[in-house]
Structure 1
């Protein structure tokens, strides 16, 4: 069997375990937490407003596009280390869009398809290796298109041949560049990927002809600079399932994941200072300069050095470190399309990037990434904290608290209802979720 045939067989034939479905429920809840504030307009997003001027969400493909954009608009959505991207915002919008016109889909079927999509995402990340991202591609967009396609194929019970065609249609349309980070196009990448997966599924079920073989092989050959490992797409599929191990990572901060251990280091440094009885104002006044070190290439995602807006600041190590030293936290309102804050910018100008050339390059093992923040004071003393990515991941994370932070105007009863719906345990949970996510978009009037 060819690679594509073997992969299609795995997607069609292997069923996730009950443990994976529980992990999928958490992923769905995180997606709802970060998507609803944008859809409801609680946090104004100019990009979604512009999209509504062009698109009306009265078909499945467009619903996937709009929902994918909204889910990634805050850059607060889940992350998968094997994928090196955000699987939920391409897979779930595609599945929800298909479910919006297929009321017979059960909650278990939906979660099963989601798990399959995450497995495909992780496998693609392993198969492409680090070069794909390093070349400038946005994995959420490129690999996400195929991950969402695999999930859609599973949801509609496509045959092995149909699944192969769906994957091929997705692969031939995969696109997205990291050069768009800090703009509305980055979340649009997620929407376009979800839309492509839906269209590929619809075309295939309608009998449209596409090549069932060698398209994925061609994609890997063309987009991985010779570093691809195709066997990782199929070897050990579901053993363990990628949604369980290494699992989805839920963001504690609304910034690029490549800034998080730097944020933790800066917050810890600030806390140590405050515990001595000194004030934040005294710390800022005393700072002469700041250095942040990391493995070579460890700042490839957080590439913005002088952000003009809060959206650009999500990808700025300098701004994130400064915000943590000044505020002690990173809040959604600090990372909106509004201009950056003057006091944070002033402190950020004192931050210098100092890659640690003694550390192995980040591309060899992103899981070993670290950030060390060193603050040099005017009196000649220094403050220093170092956080590894693994240390950051071990900090307790409360998904319910994140839901409260994203939906502060909701009552406890309303938030409890969202939690209950995300479990998809009752026959009407999925239809109610679909209504919650799509009704307002359907009513939005385009030009």
Structure 2
């Protein structure tokens, strides 16, 4: 028996069987995936990368290109789930790979599908902890770098590969890992997810075809190279599934179609908007002279675009999100698609100043301690301030059924009815139908 880290990780993927609780959480994750995917899938909202992608890859409707397209489309709105341990978006990569393989290979066992998804999320959370605190901070996009490995783990479980095949597949996924945060605010960010899903599919295909690769040492090397001396390899295996990572810390479902690093700021702005009304300020836009937003050093690493020109960039702009929340009291999906930004919101966003709070520990050390404190300086000399922590934001329940209903309402009724009939994934037939709808 191979006692290397790679060998032990490959073996543990087949050791545990999820329960009904985990499968219920997985079904909720599938619903959120659909809520994030369908508006772009059916062109209900504009996207500036999809058509070029389809023009390039549609002639080849291979399983790997199905995974690529689903990975891109499901992450195109940046509305899909997030996992704190992973520090990225696991479901967009894992489910895109699994749906593509399910359709191409005719695999239709719904319970096995859900179990593979749960294993993938477990692997994602493990990889995020094992890679350590510096990986993301050095400029790497975890969805793109760790995502291929997590999705490959799920696919190996789904296809019941041998331990040796699984080890080779994981090594192939690791050697394809890449993705830079410098691409945030462009269509290349969701393309990262597409590439990651395609890498996972390619890795298992090659392993199943007995392509030669190193069975041991590759995961160890991956963590060492990309951990930047902060890696913790033991986290890959310790206390597996106690609890399952899909339960704790669980998938975080977005309530707003913007970078997760803006959500606490938005919620602080919602509170301040209401306080303005309570103070007799009927028009925050004209009454606000200046805005400060403070946060731990480095907490604005992801939402780093100060002057967005379109809604795609605006997703990653603290300034624009704060302005939108103050003026409108919501973050509407249509404000964060491939359309020019609203000039009124841009003018208010220009009054926002970022003020890192250097008395707080750096965000890299513990992202869960992140906060956003917003202070409004009114034209009559008054100041009002409010702080929301990331933990408060994460603890607030997101109604995924309502989120999905909003997305389905954007589609033709006949199409919405087809998807509505597949949502619970409580039968093999539903999985077959859903995979066909997404991949045909």
Whether TM exceeds 0.5 here: the answer is yes
- CA RMSD across the alignment: 1.4
1:219-254 deviation line (CA, Å, top 9, x unaligned): 111111111000000111111110010000000000
Partner of 1:103: 106
User: Residues 229-378 of structure 1: matches in 2 within 5 Å?
Assistant: 229-279=232-282, 281=283, 283-378=284-379
For residue 119 of structure 2, what is the aligned residue in structure 1? 116
State the aligned residue count.
437
Take 1:418 and 1:53, find their aligned partners in 2: how far apart are those partners?
A: 25
1:228 aligns with 2:228: no
- Of 72-81 and 415-424, the range deviating more from structure 2: 415-424
| Matching residue of 1:42 | 44
Residue 32 of structure 2 contacts residue 253 of structure 2 at CA under 8 Å; is this kept in 1?
yes
Kept in 2: contact 1:34–1:71 (CA 8 A): yes
Partner of 2:167: 164
SS at match of 1:127: helix
C-alpha displacement at 1:276, in angstroms? Answer: 4.2
Provide the rounded CA distance (Å) in 2 between the counterparts of 1:45 and 1:187: 11
CA distance in 2, matches of 1:223, 1:406: 37
Counterpart in the other structure of 1:53: 55
Give the TM-score, by structure 2 length: 0.97
1:13 to 12, 15, 39: 15
- CA–CA distance in 2 between the matches of 1:328 and 1:435? 39
SS in structure 1 opposite 2:291?
strand
> Which residue in the other structure is 1:86 paired with?
89
Give the Cα separation in 2 of the matches to 1:274 and 1:116: 48
Evaluate the alpha carbon distance shift between residue 419 and residue 276 of structure 1 in structure 2; reply closer, same or farther with a 3 A threshold.
Answer: farther
SS of residue in 1 equivalent to 2:231: coil
Distance 2:425 2:105 in 1: 15
* Offset at residue 288 of structure 1 (A): 1.0
After superposition, what is the alpha-carbon deviation per residue over 1:173-223, rounded to whole angstroms, capped at 9, x for unaligned? Answer: 000000000011100000000000001101110111111100011111111
**1:100-249 → structure 2 map (5 Å cutoff):** 100-249=103-252
> Using the alignment, how far apart are the partners of 1:19 and 1:417 within structure 2?
26
Q: Is the 8 A contact 2:139 2:182 kept in 1?
A: yes
Alignment CA distance shift 1:401-1:412 (3 Å): farther
Counterpart contact for 2:108–2:429, Cα < 8 Å: no
Q: Which residue of 2 aligns with 1:444?
A: none
Q: Gaps spanning 5+ residues in structure 1: where?
A: 440-447
Q: What's the offset of the Cα at 1:365?
A: 1.1
| 1:44 to 1:284, Cα distance in 2 relative to 1, 3 A | closer
Deviates more, 1:368-377 or 1:44-53: 44-53
Maintained 8 Å contact 1:310/1:334? yes
3-state SS of 1:240 partner:
coil
2:382 is the counterpart of 1:381: yes
Q: Describe the SS at the equivalent of 1:54.
A: helix
Q: Structure 1 residue 96: deviation in Å?
A: 0.4
> Does structure 1 conserve the Cα–Cα contact (< 8 Å) formed by 2:64 and 2:202?
yes
- 1:416–1:364: structure 2 CA closer, same or farther, 3 Å change rule? farther
Question: Contact 2:323–2:348 at 8 Å: present in 1 too?
Answer: yes
Q: Which moved more, 1:405-414 or 1:143-152?
A: 405-414
Q: What's the TM-score once normalised by structure 1's chain length? A: 0.95
Q: Which deviations, in whole Å up to 9, do the C-alpha atoms of 1:411-438 show, x marking residues without a partner?
A: 8897576455232112311121122112
Cα deviation, residue 54, structure 1: 0.6
Matched residue of 2:372: which SS?
strand
Tell me the residue number matched to 1:402.
Answer: 403
Deviations 1:11-46 (Å, cap 9, x if unpaired)?
Answer: 122222221111000000000011011111111222
Task: Say which is worse superposed, 24-33 or 430-439, in terms of deviation.
Answer: 430-439
1:16-27 residue pairs with structure 2 within 5 A?
Answer: 16-27=18-29
Offset of residue 89 of structure 1: 0.5
Distance 1:239 1:316 in 2: 37
- Counterpart-to-counterpart distance in 2, 1:36 and 1:244: 25
* Secondary structure in 2 matching 1:296: coil
